[in-house]
Amino acid sequence: MRADHERLMAYVDGELDGGERAEFERQLAADPDLRALLAAEQTLRARLQTSFARQLSEPAPERLVQTARTARAGSAGLAILERWRGRSRSRVTGRRYWPLSVALAASLMLAAVFGLQLWRSPGASVALVSGQVVARGPVAQALSTALARTQPADAAVRIGLSFRDRQGRMCRTFMARAALSAGVACRAGQDWLVEAVASAPAAAGAVGAVRTAGSEWPAAIMREVDQRIAGNALDDQAERRARAHHWQP
């Protein structure tokens, strides 16, 4: 089975030679299960390539372009210098000099990193469903049931605003404390689709301390709300009505 799978992968990856390839294709023609596995592998490969292609359109930081164009090029005999330079650079201290550009350049990879925090945090979770990020567990629970006005101040998942977006869907902002993540989720059927995630500042002071509403929400999330909201955020009464209707449009 393992050998079969490796051969299937080798086929998808173009690693079989002519004879092996022909033989595998004969096998394929006779085996619908194998064809289904093949299709799944090809889909996975295509999804990976599409997803990671986005990173290629990010412009490279100027400092890297300058390094490539101007950094000292070696001639024979520079091996010692190279070792020395390798050592002197080894602590990766350069970052401090480019925090702003780095912050601006940080896009999907950070999303992935913060997304992962949300993933891994025991008290808050999201899941991938058909390639979409769907709230699960305590996050979904809070999105469906909590009311902004009456939720406990120290809730593991807090709700910020509830609003109707321009497509008419009900959306809510949430903050998962343990994951240091905040996000916007919108209702789709019985699911909450997580549409944006950002890191939330670590709680200042004691856990459970009452905070001023709004001040702790990442600006990125508030911008997401601004871009989506149609009309005003729901007040307490409207929020109760929406909950009674299970957040349907």
Partner 1 sequence: MTDIHNDDLAAFREQLVALLPRLRRVARGYTRNVADADDLVQLAIERALLRWQQWQRGTRLDCWMFGILRNAWFDELRARRRHAEVLLEDEQAGTQVAGGDGGQPLQALAVEAALLELPEEQRMAVLLVLVEGLSYKEAAAALDVPIGTLTSRLARGREALARVLA
Near partner 1 in 12-51, by CB under 8 A: 13-15, 40-41, 44-45, 47-51
Q: How far is the CB of 236 from partner 1 (least distance, A)?
A: 26
Report the distance separating Cα 248 and Cα 66, nearest Å: 53
Tokens in use for 123? 């008290």
Asked if residue 86 binds partner 1 (CB under 8 A), the reply is yes
Asked if residue 113 binds partner 1 (CB under 8 A), the reply is yes
Q: Which is nearer to partner 1, 107 or 145 (CB)?
A: 107
Element (DSSP H or E) covering residue 240: helix 236-244
Place of tokens 């490539």: 68
Ramachandran quadrant class, 131 (left: phi over 0; alpha: psi -120 to 50; beta: rest)? left
Q: Which is nearer to partner 1, 30 or 60 (CB)?
A: 60
Q: Which is nearer to partner 1, 223 or 241 (CB)?
A: 223
Task: Looking at residues 129 to 168 of the shown chain, list those that interact with partner 1 (rule: CB under 8 A).
Answer: 131-133
The stretch near partner 1 (CB under 8 A) out of 21-29, 109-117, 153-161, 204-212 is 109-117
List Cα–Cα distances, 113 to 43, 45, 118, in angstroms.
24, 22, 9
Task: Looking at residues 46 to 85 of the shown chain, list those that interact with partner 1 (rule: CB under 8 A).
Answer: 47-52, 54-58, 60-61, 63-65, 67-69, 71-76, 78-79, 81-82, 85
Q: How far is the CB of 187 from partner 1 (least distance, A)?
A: 15
Q: How far is the CB of 24 from partner 1 (least distance, A)?
A: 15
Print the SS3 string covering 34-79. HHHHHHHHHHHHHHHHHHHHHHHCCCCCHHHHHHHHHCCCCCCCCH
The stretch near partner 1 (CB under 8 A) out of 3-11, 135-143, 152-160, 170-178 is 3-11
Task: Looking at residues 190 to 249 of the shown chain, list those that interact with partner 1 (rule: CB under 8 A).
Answer: 194-202, 218-220, 223-224, 227
For the four alpha carbons of 61, 98, 226 and 130, in that order, the dihedral sign comes to positive
Tokens in use for 60? 């490279």
